[in-house]
Each structure stands twice: as C-alpha cells, then as structure tokens.
Chains A and B, each alone.
Chain A
Amino acid sequence: MRLFLTLLTLALLGTLTASAQTREEIVLTGGPALRFMEHGKGAVSHDVYWFNFVDASVIRLNELRAQAKPDELITWLIYRPGYAARGEEMGVDLLAQLQAKAKQVGANIHWFDSKEDLIAYLNKGLDRDKIKISNFDYFGHSNKACFLFDYSNKIDTMSIAWLHVKDLRLIHDDIFTRDAVCKSWGCHSGEEYSQWWKSHFDVAMIGAIGKTDFAHGGLPALSNSDGKWTQ
C-alpha cells in the first residue's frame, strides 16, 4: 500500500514537472527545392545546398538552447514533404539526419505536412491556455505575402504549401506571450508580412526589406546594401 501511494505521488509529480513548462520557443523551417526543378536556372537556381535553411535553423536553436530558462520548451517545426522529396532525389535519408540534428540541439522536432497541420499545432499542439509561444523564427522561402514551406519541389517555381497573410486569421491571436520575439529570416517579409503579423497578433515580427542570403552559411544576412530589417 505504502509503495502504491509512493508511486502515485511520483506519477503526479512527474505530470507536474512536464506541465510546469509555460513557454515555448519555436523555430519553423521550410523545405528546399528539388534540383530537378531548379536545373538550368543559372544564378537564380535555388537550394543547391539542401540544408541551407536547416543549418541556419540549427544555429538559432543552439542560441535558444543556450538562453533557455527551465520553464521553456524548444520546438522545431519542419515541413516534412520537402525534405522527404529532396532526400529521395539525392538517395539519402534527410529525415533521419534532421532527427539527429534535433536530438543534438535538444529540440522537440514536430513534422508538419501541410498548412493545416501547422496551424493545428500552433493553435492546440500544446495547451495554449498554459503554454504560450515566447519566440518564433522562420527560415525558408518567402515573398512579402507568404511563407512558402514548399517551393519548386512539387511544381516548378510554385508552391503547394504556404501560409499567406490572409491565412493568419486562422491562427488564434493569443498564442504568443506579450514579450514574444518573432523574426522571419526569409526574403521580403518586412515589406508586408510583418505588418499583417503585428495587426493580427499584436506582437511585432522582424522581417527583411529586400532579399536575404542563406548561401554563405550562418544566419542569413541581407543580400543588398539597400535592404534592411524592419518590423
């Protein structure tokens, strides 16, 4: 009996330990193009390197891990079909590599296969009454109106998975903490997306005016001298 009571107490304590985490830090990573689709496009051929968004994401995840408080979860949201298809094209298991990277940086990996999957996670993947999002970073293709999780992977130069500014209304407007830090590292987000983001969530999102460059490793930088970060 005493042993049973002890085990019951411990089980409750375990539950409390998990639910004590009240903040979530999210890194969202879009997928790469297929080389098949981008072949012959010369200087504008995208994603020669398959992990350009991933490497930048890992750098940011390591930063978040270093700064994380005990009550903060770190979640890595990855568009799975993009890496599955690119891995198939290359003949390697990129999904396994991503899982290994997530393990290395101590992030909870959560795959999504569609915009609907992503929105469902943001809205109710965790109990959003208790666990708010305190950090959000996006690495992937984008234009000023969209995050493009898929780009030139299924259809040449087009997307079949995206989050348009008009889709933001589908995400609950209270998922962020009041002091949340949000940033899109993709191209052009500061030209329109940031304004819609702020309008919907009442939280600023830093975005680029102009293009950003992932090609040189590290966190992406602004491509042009007249570009700038804004929110």
Chain B
Amino acid sequence: MILPTRMSRLTLIAGLLLVAGFMGAGRLGAQSNDDGATYVPPPGTVAPVAPPLRKGSPLDHLANDPKMESLPAGFKEGNTSGATYWVAHRLVDPMEGEGWGWVRKSGDGWGSGIWIALQETPGLAVAPHRKLVKADADLDWEYKFWGKMAGYKAYDPHLDEQLPVFILQGYEVIGPANPLSIKSGPPGRIQHRPSGASSRESRPILSDPGVD
C-alpha cells in the first residue's frame, strides 16, 4: 500500500511541476495569435512579389489616375472646411534633402515660415505633386493647407537632419508665386562642406539609407 501511495504522490508532483514550469515560462512567453488572413502568392510564383493593387485604394489611385501638367487654381482635396489654414510654399530642397517646403499660419508673414516634412494622409489628402506629370512641376507654387503640426519630428537620412512635421488633411491650390528669399532647411542647418570642416555632430550623412 505504501508503494502505490508514493508513486501517486510522485506522479502528482511531476504533473504539478510540469504545470508550474509552463506557468513560469508563460510570463515570458510569446504574444501569440494564429488568426488573421495570410497572403498567398499566386501558384507558380514565389515571394518576393508585389501583391495585387486593391481596387480603389490610395495606391491604386496613385498608380492609375491620369496625371496633370499643373493643378488649376482653386483645386481642392481633402478636408478644407476649417476657417484656420496655413499658407504653404513648395520648394525642392537645394541641398537635396527630403523637406517639402515652408508653411506659415495664414495671418503671419514668411518670417515665421517653417521648413517642414510633409506627412500625407492617403485616402484623404496627399502631396499635390502626386497628381502631376513631373514631381517638381509645382516648384514655387503656393497652397492653402489644412492640417496640423505633429508632436514629433521626421529624420531625413540623406542629410542627417530632423524636421518639423506637418500632417496634411486638405489643401487648395493658390497658384504660382515668387520665390522666397528665406533660407531652406530646418533651423540650425549649416552649410555642409565636404572638406570635413564640419563637426562630427552636424556633418551630413550622404549615403543612401536604403537596403534593398
């Protein structure tokens, strides 16, 4: 009688040990979830392949909508209903950075202009140049922008710079304007010199950030 009892206890202990082990590991375990659809490449093909365009998606519109030479004054996209707007002046960065241009509040002068990275809202409002045949065809054009400044910054890997972000929610085309005489780039941009005279902290990162 004693032997079976001991064996039962041992079995119980072993079982509980196993359970406790799982409980202990569970605190560090994976956040696993097996649901969700899985994209399956078409038969006979292997990844990497681009999945088919979703009809009506922002990418579908970008890829397939006809492009224009220029946008007509008064052309609108997105939410343009607010009384408060920003005036935006497009410039392709002469330093080859990725900034979009300047914005200023509608009642202010260009002295308070802010050099921005433009965060588009696909499906609502995207950068006006995406509708153009040439991406730089709106150089020195001005727009009314609706949206807001983001609470975070963007990093431009080409110039190792951080830029304020404007989140675009709507725009209206004003039209061509005279070039502005204010300095492009974010505050604190120095004129990078390839001589290496600039410091380690501020020198440009001119290498391509891409990896594939």
Contact = CB atoms under 8 A, between A and B. Distances in A.
Given A36-B122, A187-B209, A15 B39 contact: no
**Main SS class of interface, A:** mixed
Given A6-B12, A143-B207, A160 B165 contact: yes
A95 B39 CA distance: 12
B155 A148 contact: yes
B24 A15 contact: yes
Contact of B154 (A15, A36, A160): A160
Contacts, number: 194
B59 A214 contact: no
A68 interface: no
A161 B194 CA distance: 28
Nearest to B59: A36
Contact of B211 (A16, A95, A154, A187): A187
B20 A17 contact: yes
Interface in B11-48: 12-13, 16-17, 19-21, 23-25, 27-39, 47-48
A44 B210 contact: yes
Contact of B157 (A34, A55, A95, A143): A143
A17 B21 contact: yes
B24 A108 contact: no
B123 to A, nearest CB: 10
A62 interface: no
Nearest to B39: A92
A89 B156 CA distance: 23
Interface of A: 6-7, 10-11, 13-18, 21, 34-36, 39, 44, 46-49, 51-52, 55, 73, 89-93, 95-97, 99-100, 102-103, 107-111, 126, 140-146, 148, 151, 154-160, 162, 164, 166, 186-188, 191, 211-215, 217, 220
